[in-house]
Chains A and B, each alone.
Chain A
Amino acid sequence: MIIILILVILLVIAFIAIYNRLVVKRMRVKNGWAQIDVQLKRRYDLIPNLVETVKGYAKHEKEVFEKVAELRSRAMGAQSPKEAAEANNMLTSTLKTLFAVAENYPQLKANENFLKLQEELTATENKISFARQFYNDVVMDYNATIQKFPQTVVASMFNFKPREFFEAPEEERTTVPKVKF
């Protein structure tokens, strides 16, 4: 009788411990995503300023401006990490084109406001990729945990679902260096 009682108590303790660990890990995933989200929003805010500054010197490059604007609104409307990742990766490569275009305008390159925006966007771009790296690490840890044996029982009872990764752009998977415009 007493043995059964002790076993039950031990089981309940183990159950609570596992549940709490899962909650902590899910929290980390949420925080990781919040980090990315903050940086993405910062980038959406910087882009109109940048486009305005570049427009002042390079009026003819309409195509690039339009593409940037379109991708920006698409990225802002993304619903899931996967969608956001796709739209933002395209936005990154279009921004690279924009900075490549700027290379052709010496006056623009000397503009102080442009230089400031360039530094801010570089920093934001790096923060996004570092935040993504951190987020993917915690997602991997979380997803692995909810599939392991005793944890998976608790996970399915309380509806802990695997999370999506924030995929890196194609070229960054092979070459490690962070973006530099």
Chain B
Amino acid sequence: MRETLYDLIGANKRKTFLFIIVTSLFLGAIGYVVVQYLHWGIVGYVFFAVFIVIYNIVLYYNSDKLALRATGSVPADPVEFRMLHNVVEEISIAAGTPKPKVYITPSPAPNAFATGRNPENASIAVTTGLLEILNRQELQGVVAHEMAHIKNYDILLMTVVSAIGGLIILLRDFFLRSMLFGGRRRSRKTGGQLGLILLVIGIVLAIIAPLFVALIRAAISRQREYLADASGAYITRYPEGLAQALAKLRDQYVPLKRASQSNAHLFIASPFGKDRANAAGLFSTHPPLDKRIGRLTDLVI
């Protein structure tokens, strides 16, 4: 048990590193092509190298803020959300980690996610809809599931991957647009060639973007959700709490408006309607809730 968990944490850190390397190479390739065709020379290369380094540093330190902002989460008021703060503190004592920051996502959709780069800099966000339907013990179960993601370093990988996914979609839009509008202003001599290059990059990105989403699904495999359920149950030593919470999530479905393809895998239950209850597609981010509940009920601690 212990050994495999540590292996998993190591694997998560390696995967995060790999993702950052691959993106850097990818950005480097784009930079090379652009510099080459605009004839910026050595200054251009230096500019791109510095940009990539700064981009990675900013990404590492701010990926959690991106996820929180994208979902419109705000810090939970310690007086108004006293019980939530208490529950998070209880679970962090049980897990032996520092208390993460607590956020509220204003949405009637019952859901929750965790983000951050390590247990010392982690945040847990729950929606107002979740607080409305869960009792104290069910909330403990959900928070323990998120705490398991934090302890296993799932959060770093998840947030870095979703930030990179967002960037690729952004770049694709940029290149496809500059291809459409940029052509007119360019001089005739280089215009045709440059336009062609931008078009090729745009098309390649358009193909890569959905593939990248699929890659996210592979990296953050559905197995990880089972694992977080099990280790969450180990933290509270009370699997029924989480099982009951998941049953409520299954029965009271409201779509989460501010979730997107690039951050769907962060949440405790899929924020989209399809494949929630029983059918798991090849591209679904989460295992079906029925199966997760079944596994929790069979769990012996």
Contact status B86-A134, CB under 8 Å: no
- Chain A interface bracket (under 10, 10 to 19, 20 to 34, 35 or more): 10 to 19
**B94 at the A/B interface (Cβ < 8 Å)?**
yes
Segment at the interface with B among A15-23, A71-79, A124-132, A143-151? A124-132
Q: Choose among A116, A120, A123, A130 the residue with the greatest number of B CB atoms under 10 Å from its CB.
A: A130
**A178 at the A/B interface (Cβ < 8 Å)?**
yes
| Per-residue A-contact encoding for B77-105, CB less than 8 Å = 1, 0 else | 00000110011011101111000000000
Known: A119-B83, A122-B136. A176 touches B237 (CB 8 A): yes
Contact status A177-B238, CB under 8 Å: yes
The contact sample of 30 A-B pairs, CB cut-off 8 A, is A116-B82, A119-B82, A119-B83, A119-B86, A120-B86, A122-B136, A123-B83, A123-B87, A123-B89, A123-B90, A126-B86, A126-B90, A130-B90, A130-B91, A130-B236, A131-B93, A131-B94, A133-B94, A134-B94, A134-B95, A134-B96, A176-B237, A176-B238, A176-B301, A177-B137, A177-B240, A178-B140, A178-B236, A178-B238, A180-B136
For chain B, the count of residues having a C-beta within 8 Å of the partner chain is: 19
Known: A119-B82, A119-B83, A119-B86. A180 touches B137 (CB 8 A): yes
Q: Which residue of the partner chain B has the closest CB to A126?
A: B90
Q: B94 — which chain A residues lie within 8 A by C-beta?
A: 130-131, 133-134
CA distance A120 to B93 in the complex (A): 16
Residues of B within 8 A of A (CB): 82-83, 86-87, 89-91, 93-96, 136-137, 140, 236-238, 240, 301
CA distance A151 to B90 in the complex (A): 34
Cross-chain contact of B93 among A119, A130, A176, A180 (Cβ < 8 A) = A130
Q: A133 — which chain B residues lie within 8 A by C-beta?
A: 94, 237
Q: B137 — which chain A residues lie within 8 A by C-beta?
A: 177-178, 180
Q: Give the A-B pair count, Cβ closer than 8 A.
A: 45
CA distance A120 to B83 in the complex (A): 8
Q: A92 — which chain B residues lie within 8 A by C-beta?
A: none
Q: B90 — which chain A residues lie within 8 A by C-beta?
A: 123, 126-127, 130
Q: Which residue of the partner chain B has the closest CB to A39?
A: B93
Q: A123 — which chain B residues lie within 8 A by C-beta?
A: 83, 86-87, 89-90
Q: A178 — which chain B residues lie within 8 A by C-beta?
A: 137, 140, 236, 238
CA distance A120 to B87 in the complex (A): 11
Q: Which of A77-116 contact B (CB under 8 A)?
A: 116
Q: Which of A130-181 contact B (CB under 8 A)?
A: 130-131, 133-134, 176-178, 180
**A53 at the A/B interface (Cβ < 8 Å)?**
no
Contact status A127-B93, CB under 8 Å: yes
CA distance A123 to B88 in the complex (A): 10
Q: B83 — which chain A residues lie within 8 A by C-beta?
A: 119, 123
Q: A39 — which chain B residues lie within 8 A by C-beta?
A: 93
Q: Which of A33-66 contact B (CB under 8 A)?
A: 35, 39
CA distance A35 to B94 in the complex (A): 10
Q: Which residue of the partner chain B has the closest CB to A38?
A: B93
Q: A180 — which chain B residues lie within 8 A by C-beta?
A: 136-137
Q: A134 — which chain B residues lie within 8 A by C-beta?
A: 93-96
What's the nearest-Cβ distance from chain A to residue B73, in Å?
23
The 6 lowest CB-CB distance pairs between A and B, nearest first, are: A130-B94, A123-B86, A126-B90, A130-B93, A131-B93, A176-B238
What's the nearest-Cβ distance from chain B to residue A97, in Å?
21
**Given pairs A130-B93, A134-B93, 16 additional interface contacts (CB within 8 A):** A116-B82, A120-B86, A122-B86, A123-B86, A123-B87, A123-B89, A123-B90, A127-B93, A130-B90, A130-B94, A133-B94, A133-B237, A134-B94, A177-B137, A177-B240, A178-B140
